[in-house]
Amino acid sequence: MATTAAPLASQLNIESDPSIWSMAVLIPLSLHICSNPNISLGPVLLTRLLVIVCMNFVQKKSVMAFPPWFLLGYQMALQVVLISGFNFRQLTCGKWSDLVKWLVWTTPFWIAQLITSLYALKLTSVSTIQIIRSVLPLMSFALEKATQGIPKHVSGSLIASMLLVMVGTTMYSYTSVLVTPIALMWIFINSVFTVVATVFRSWFLKDENFTVSISLAQTSVSTVAIPVICIAAVLTGEMHQWPTVLKDTPPTAWFWATMSGLVAGCFSFLQFRCQKIISGTSDLMFQNCVKVFIIIMGIVMFADKFDMESLIACCTALGGCAWYGYLRQTEGKEVTKAPTSDLKAPLIDVEEQKSSGEKVDIKDLAVSDLEVKLVRDMGA
């Protein structure tokens, strides 16, 4: 009887395959790019592409080797060290009341967003998650339209692109054996928490009176999350597994978990660095392209399977998502009436203006900023 070859990802080992250490180069490379404003668009986007693909790979490897709450707590601790160590001079706060409000409103939903993402990764393939999550920009569109009235006019083409995404994701859900009911449940629960968490973060970061720096906002929410994660592990009974995990987990699994935390921290740096160069709508288009690379990675490294029906459904969903992003990009240019430039004032610049006492004009922010943050936060 013929046997199916194990996925390439399951065969990697740090002792027998020392070349996998090369992905650690992405960490200093990302930090260098984020600290050098003179680096051009090409290297920034290429590094960000590599970081996103790497992040999805190591997250999938890590979640198969560790209990979800343990892994999340370990990743948070690593990100606190990375972000505070690299940006310790930017850990500033004008009013402590702002920091308290930030933590109270964002921490619960942010933890829920991350843990449901890990549960989804544990139950289904990377490719499946990317395809189903194509509906996220549509959820963001509904939220923007209801709360901000953006866009003012909804064209027939925009509606058609959204319907194409819905048709593609629905077809894929029915044709792929990897889309089990429980996996689909976790993906959509994660989507809901992502939308809510994005709304709260957007409210704070767009408030010109918010005095907490971006670095402190990231570090503080990760720090506060750690004891909450420990409590959740106790309540779910997962804490009993931790001694065994610490004792019996092989070095290669620890390598994946460590890389997942550090690379996720680099992703946080790069998303703000990238916004210095391209507008929000252009960034949405970039995210759509990244999905293709992540799906290819899933096929090559994790042996994700596609039959003809699921492949057609995948192409339909991603095609509709790309069409939607193109229409929003065109609309963004018309609204802002920018003749040649695609630049917008990035959040990191807003933060610098606030710290120097300059007045921030919220109109300079990207028109579709909420939507872009939603796609970024899912990280592919």
- pLDDT bin (cut points 50, 70, 90) of residue 350 is very low
Residue 59: both structure tokens together: 């997250």
Q: 80: closest CA among 225, 233, 256?
A: 225
Alpha carbon distances (Å) from 147 to 142, 150, 162, 208, 245:
9, 8, 19, 19, 45
pLDDT digits (tens, 9 = 90+) for 99-150: 999 999 999 999 999 999 999 999 998 888 888 887 777 777 777 777 767 7
> Token pair for residue 376?
């970024």
Write out pLDDT tens, residues 236-258.
999 999 999 999 999 999 999 99
Bridge partner list, 212:
93
User: How many H helices and E strands in the chain?
Assistant: 15, 0
Residue 161 φ/ψ region, left for φ over 0, alpha for ψ in the -120 to 50 degree band, beta for the rest: alpha
CA-nearest of 64, 175, 39 to 119 is: 64
- The overall longest dimension of the chain from CA atoms, in Å, is 72
Tell me which residue has tokens 């939308």.
Answer: 195
- What pLDDT was estimated at residue 244? 93
DSSP result, 337-352: T-SS------HHHHHH
136 and 194 Cβ atoms separated by less than 8 Å: yes
Mean pLDDT along residues 218-225: 92
